[in-house]
Amino acid sequence: MKLYFRHLALSFALILCPTLLPAQATTAERSIMSIDLRDTTSQGFLLQNISQMCTTLAQMGGRQGWQFHVETKSNQAARTVPTDSIRQIRITQMQVPAEPTVGLRIMQFNIREDKQTEPDYNTFTGVRATAIVKMVKDVKPDIICLQECRKTQAAYLATNLPDYSQLLYPKDGIEKNGGQRDVILYDAKKVRFLSWSKFWFSETPTVSSKSWDASTPKLTIYARFRSREDATKDFYVYCTHFPPSAPVAMGHAVTMIQESIQKTTGGTLPVFLCGDLNLDYANSILDPLKEYMHHAAATALVSDGVDAITYNGYRDTDQKTLDHIFYRNAIVDTYYVKNKTYQYGANCKWISDHYPLYSDVRF
Give 76-107 as a DSSP string: ---SEEEGGGEEEEEEEEE---SS---EEEEE
Q: How many domains does the chain have?
A: 2
Q: Are 186 and 48 found together in one domain?
A: no
- Whether 98 shows a pLDDT value over 70: the answer reads no
Q: Are 325 and 179 found together in one domain?
A: yes
Q: What percent of the chain has pLDDT over 90?
A: 67
DSSP states of 124-146 = IIIIIHHHHHHHHHHH--SEEEE
Q: Are 35 and 163 found together in one domain?
A: no
Q: Are 77 and 114 found together in one domain?
A: no
Q: Are 126 and 78 found together in one domain?
A: no
Last residue of a domain, one of 73, 94, 115: 94
Which residues contact residue 60 at a Cβ distance below 8 angstroms, ignoring those fewer than 6 apart?
22, 66, 93
Mean pLDDT of 235-264: 98
Q: Are 140 and 236 found together in one domain?
A: yes
Q: Are 236 and 301 found together in one domain?
A: yes
Q: Are 155 and 215 found together in one domain?
A: yes
Q: Among the ranges 38-42, 175-179, 221-225, which has the highest mean pLDDT value?
A: 221-225
Average pLDDT in the chain: 81
Last residue of a domain, one of 94, 120, 137: 94
- Whether 46 shows a pLDDT value over 60: the answer reads no
- Cα torsion 46, 49, 51, 57 to 10°: value is -100
- Whether 36 shows a pLDDT value over 70: the answer reads no
CATH number at residue 200: 3.60.10.10
Last residue of a domain, one of 68, 94, 120: 94
Q: Which stretch of 30-34, 155-159, 176-180 has the lowest confidence by average pLDDT?
A: 30-34
The pLDDT-based confidence of 360 (bands split at 50, 70, 90) is very high
Q: Are 66 and 148 found together in one domain?
A: no
Domain that holds residue 217: 103-362
**What pTM, to 2 d.p., does this model score?**
0.79
Q: Are 175 and 129 found together in one domain?
A: yes
Q: Are 84 and 114 found together in one domain?
A: no
What is the spatial distance between Cα 298 and Cα 306, in angstroms, rounded to a whole number?
A: 6
At CA 72, angle to CA 68 and CA 76, rounded to 5? 95
Q: Which stretch of 79-93, 158-172, 209-223, 244-258 has the lowest confidence by average pLDDT?
A: 79-93
The pLDDT-based confidence of 153 (bands split at 50, 70, 90) is very high
Q: Are 69 and 183 found together in one domain?
A: no
